[in-house]
């Protein structure tokens, strides 16, 4: 692995300090501008086919107490990043949060604050978190399927891993860095990628041998997928020309998981083109499925209802399919889990539900079995 050149990153973060310094010199209230990270400020980028931030800017100015704290923390954070680059070190986001214990007034009060600031810095500089030598806490998700990856290991040797033969039941663990210098896809013999929200359902498909029977690469999302998981799916899908299907619970939060994979997340719209897989399709469970398959349900909570209503005004969900499904869910007032399919037996999901749904989307080459 060759040594990375960080001079561009350094000049970008020095630029932040220089902006603040020159404001002070000119007797102006120091401030930084960045794109507003809200759903009202995301626009579809036709060239990239993903959702990016629009023109709205937010100002972090020292005229208010919160703004001033923000600027002070930003100063500490960029100084810290610069140090890490010089020292050839890196830290997790959680470590960064704890490092801030020594920053006196600039101390973060929660990790959420430091994570958000790292994202802010990405937005301001156009760099990625990885450029700042910051890495996420979460390990990547799991993968099982007829796929061979080559990973550069800790001791700098390349190792090929077959994601069925070389792994246990838990599958191949996606590392936090899935860029080319770390990971390459050698061989993939499958018809599609299926990304699954819950571990329970992932294990069900593994146990039922869905990966071999249906020539599928199974990816466990672990709830809202980490950046590395999304990046992994995108690269695999694009490099190996495999369609991506998202299989989640049926509730507004699961729709958001789909949104972040297919369209890009609101929080990370500045790097949507790295993370989003615009061709990803939503497989289910859909509100229509609740009705058609007569699935066991729970009643929507107030938060669920509000989240659904908010999705109705989310530009990413502005198409016929989603409008129809969200309105349907609001009208039936119910939600359901993927594992509710077990109502019809443990094999039902692999024998009936998935084949039917895949056929509906035209993604499977295998005919569904007869309905029981």
Partner 1 sequence: MILANNNAIAYDLAKKQKEISVAEFFERNKHILGFGNPTRALVTSVKEGVDNALDACEEAEILPEIYVEVKNSSEEECTVIIEDNGPGIIKQQIPHVFARLLYGSRFHAVRQSRGQQGIGISAVVLYGQLTTGKHAKITSKIEADRPAVVVELAMDTNKNRGEVLNQDVTHWDKPSGTRIEVNLIADYRRGKRFVYDYLQSTSIVNPHARIIYKEADGTEHIFERTADILPKKSVEVQPHPYGVELGTLIKMAKETNSRKLASFLKTEFSSMGDRTANAVCDEAKLDRNMNPADMTRDQFAALHAAFKKVKIMSPSTDCLSPIGETLIRRSLKSETQEISPEFIFTATRPASVYSGSPFQIEVGIVYGGNLPKDKQVKILRFANRIPLLYQQGDCAITTAIASIDWRRYGLEQPSGTGIPIGPAIFLTHIASTQIPYTSESKEAIADVEEIENEIKLAFRECARKVQMHINKKVRRVKTREKFDLITKILPEIAKKSAHMLNKPVPSLDRVITRIMDVVWIEDLVEYEKARGKQVQTKIDSKPSSEHEGGWITKSTIMVVNYKNKSQKFNLYAVIPKDAVVGTIKPKPAKITDTYIRWNLDSISPTNKVDIYFELAGLNKGDFDENDLYVENINPTYVIGADKWEGE
Which residues contribute to the site for partner 1 (CB under 8 A)?
14, 17-18, 20-21, 23-25, 27-30, 62-65, 68-69, 71-72, 75-76, 78-79, 82, 104-106
Least distance (Å) between residue 94 CB and partner 1:
23
Element (H, E) at 59: strand 57-61
Q: Does residue 189 sit in helix, strand or coil?
A: coil
Q: How far is the CB of 76 from partner 1 (least distance, A)?
A: 6
Give the separation between CA 356 and CA 278, rounded to whole angstroms. 23
341 vs 232: CA distance, rounded Å: 28
Please enumerate in sequence order all residues whose Cβ is within 8 A of that of 193, keeping only pairs 6 or more positions apart, or say none: 145, 216, 217, 219, 233, 236, 237, 242, 243, 244, 245
How far apart (Å, rounded) are the C-alpha atoms in residues 288 and 260?
22
The reply to whether 98 belongs to the active site is yes
Nearer to partner 1, 73 or 316 (CB): 73
Shortest CB 84 distance to partner 1, Å:
14
Neighbours of 273 (CB within 10 A): 17
The runs of H, that is alpha helices, within 35-130 are: 65-87, 93-99, 111-125
Nearer to partner 1, 7 or 104 (CB): 104
Closest approach of Cβ 34 to partner 1, in Å? 17
CB of 80 to partner 1, least distance (A): 11
Q: CB of 29: closest distance to partner 1 in angstroms?
A: 6
Torsion of CA 91, 95, 101, 103, to 10 degrees: 20
Beta carbons within 10 angstroms of residue 69's beta carbon: 18
If the CB atoms of residues 104 and 157 are measured against partner 1, the closer one turns out to be 104
Tell me how long the chain is: 372
If DSSP codes are grouped into helix, strand and coil, which group holds residue 148? strand
Q: What strands, in cross-sheet order, belong to the sheet with 192-196?
A: 172-173, 142-144, 216-220, 192-196, 244-247, 281-284
By beta-carbon proximity to partner 1, the closer residue of 106 and 236 is 106
Burial track 80-109 (b if 16+ CB lie within 10 A, e otherwise):
bbbebbeeeeebebeebbebbeebeebbbe
Cβ atoms of 192 and 364 closer than 8 Å: yes
Question: Nearer Cβ to partner 1, position 18 or 40?
Answer: 18
Nearer to partner 1, 18 or 346 (CB): 18
Of 6, 21, 69, 98, the catalytic one is 98
**Residue 121 Cβ vs partner 1, minimum distance, rounded to whole Å:** 14
Please give the backbone phi and psi of residue 322, each rounded to the nearest 5 degrees, phi first: -65, -40
Contact 96, 118 (CB under 8 A): yes
Q: Which residues are catalytic?
A: 98
């Amino acid at each position: 692995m060759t040594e990375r050149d960080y001079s561009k990153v350094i000049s970008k973060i020095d630029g932040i300090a220089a902006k603040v310094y020159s404001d002070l010199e000119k007797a102006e209230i120091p401030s930084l501008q960045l794109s507003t990270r809200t759903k009202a400020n995301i626009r579809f980028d036709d060239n990239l086919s993903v959702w990016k931030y629009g023109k709205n800017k937010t100002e972090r100015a020292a005229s208010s107490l919160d703004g001033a704290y923000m600027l002070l923390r930003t100063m500490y954070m960029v100084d810290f990043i610069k140090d890490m680059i010089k020292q050839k070190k890196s830290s997790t986001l959680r470590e960064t949060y704890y490092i801030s214990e020594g920053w006196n007034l600039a101390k973060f009060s929660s990790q959420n604050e430091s994570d958000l600031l790292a994202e802010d810095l990405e937005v301001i500089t156009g760099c990625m978190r990885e450029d700042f030598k910051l890495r996420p806490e979460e390990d990547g998700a799991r993968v099982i399927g007829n796929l061979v990856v080559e990973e550069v290991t800790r001791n700098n040797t390349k190792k090929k891993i077959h994601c069925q033969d070389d792994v246990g039941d838990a599958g191949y663990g996606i590392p936090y860095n899935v860029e080319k210098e770390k990971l390459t896809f050698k061989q993939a013999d499958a018809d599609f990628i299926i990304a699954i929200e819950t571990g329970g359902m992932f294990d069900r498909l593994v146990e039922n041998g869905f990966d071999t029977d249906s020539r599928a690469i199974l990816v466990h999302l672990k709830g809202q997928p980490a950046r590395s998981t999304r990046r992994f799916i995108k690269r695999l899908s694009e490099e190996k020309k495999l369609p991506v299907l998202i299989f989640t619970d049926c509730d507004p939060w699961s729709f958001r998981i789909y949104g972040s994979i297919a369209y890009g997340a609101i929080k990370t719209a500045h790097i949507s083109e790295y993370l989003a897989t615009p061709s990803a399709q939503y497989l289910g469970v859909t509100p229509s499925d609740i009705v058609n398959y007569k699935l066991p349900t729970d009643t929507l909570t107030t938060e669920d209802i509000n989240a659904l209503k908010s999705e109705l005004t989310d530009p990413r969900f502005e198409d016929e399919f989603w409008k129809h499904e969200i309105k349907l869910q609001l009208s039936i007032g119910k939600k359901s889990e993927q594992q509710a399919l077990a109502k019809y037996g443990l094999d039902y999901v692999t024998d009936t539900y998935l084949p039917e749904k895949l056929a509906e989307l035209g993604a499977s080459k295998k005919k569904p079995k007869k309905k029981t």
